[in-house]
Amino acid sequence: MPLLEVLATVNCYSNFLDEFQHWQQRHQRARPSPKAFYAGLIGIGCAIGSRKMARISHPINESELEHTINWYFSVDNAHAANDQVLRLIERMELPYLSRRSSERLHTSSDGQKFEVRVESLNANYSFKYFGKGQGVSVYSFIDERDLLFHSLVFSAGERESAYVIDGLMHNDVVRSDIHSTDSFGFSEAIFGVSHLLGFYHAPRLKNLKCQRLYTFKSRRDIDSSARASVLSPCAKRLI
């Protein structure tokens, strides 16, 4: 199935193209055609570029495509359009079959390293991943229904834990109850902030036996709950 047909079908039911608004409220030309928006999304998303995309898209000229990308494509507009797609998926029944619990939504985040061969403010040297080259880290957030609700790009030399709370709070559609990361996505500050915000942080820690564990409950409460879990229902009522 062509990617253009996929985007057109999703827009037919979600109207995500309506979220791409012009930067200026006044002195703007007529709104570009939907084909220009589709070409811009494919050109940027597939790393084709606007010039090459204009050459292979015969009904669209290069000036129209560049005008659409420069004046309608922004980070805020992209997030708003993605939220529209998420709302469409939430209205379907199929994604909910993969949820383990209807009362608690489990989300997770992880980063991928990509080498950057051009000058970039986000790129940084990382010998572990790129040798003598530079690269960035693309940090994505997803839930157990496979809804990709947030992503951001930062330097490959930065720790991922600094962006966990940022991704969870910059979304109005998916509300996480428990969030998991790898060893690079946790810190003591993340545990404290997530507890204050009302959701659990459950990282997959490396060398767990060598870590010092903390809890927000007292030892007496933990012992009481553990004891009650192994008692019979009659004994629980007595307690």
Instruction: Report the CATH number that the domain containing residue 120 is assigned in CATH.
Output: 3.30.420
pLDDT for res 218: 66
* Backbone torsions φ then ψ of 139, nearest 5 degrees: -105, 120
pLDDT for res 224: 57
User: In terms of domains, do 106 and 206 share one?
Assistant: yes
| Token pair listed for 129 | 């991943």
Domain that holds residue 126: 100-210
User: In terms of domains, do 30 and 105 share one?
Assistant: no
Note whether residue 95 is domain-resident: no
pLDDT in tens, the chain (239 residues): 899 999 999 999 999 999 999 988 776 678 899 999 999 999 998 889 888 998 988 888 889 999 999 999 998 999 999 999 999 999 999 999 988 888 899 999 999 999 998 888 889 888 888 988 999 999 999 999 999 999 999 998 888 999 999 889 888 889 999 999 998 898 888 888 988 888 889 898 888 778 777 666 666 655 555 444 443 343 333 33
pLDDT for res 27: 63
Note whether residue 93 is domain-resident: no
Note whether residue 76 is domain-resident: yes
Say if CB 108 and CB 180 are below 8 A apart: yes
Q: Where are the alpha helices (DSSP H) in the chain?
A: 3-14, 34-45, 50-56, 62-72, 75-90, 127-130, 164-169, 188-197, 219-230, 233-238
User: In terms of domains, do 110 and 79 share one?
Assistant: no
| Number of folded domains that form the chain | 2
User: In terms of domains, do 57 and 124 share one?
Assistant: no
* 3-class DSSP state of 154: strand
At which of 40, 64, 87 does a domain end? 87
pLDDT for res 102: 85
pLDDT for res 231: 37
Q: Which class for 177: exposed (0-12), middle (13-18), buried (19 or more C-beta within 10 A)?
A: middle
| Token pair listed for 196 | 């204050």
| Token pair listed for 34 | 């939907």
User: In terms of domains, do 195 and 109 share one?
Assistant: yes
User: In terms of domains, do 11 and 40 share one?
Assistant: yes
Note whether residue 140 is domain-resident: yes
Helix or strand holding residue 134 (H, E):
strand 134-143
Whole-number Å distance between alpha carbons of 152 and 203:
20
Residue 104: other Cβ atoms inside 10 A: 13
Note whether residue 52 is domain-resident: yes
pLDDT for res 233: 40
* 3-class DSSP state of 57: coil
- Beta strands 134-143 and 124-125: pairing type? antiparallel
Helix or strand holding residue 152 (H, E):
strand 148-155
User: In terms of domains, do 156 and 191 share one?
Assistant: yes
Note whether residue 221 is domain-resident: no
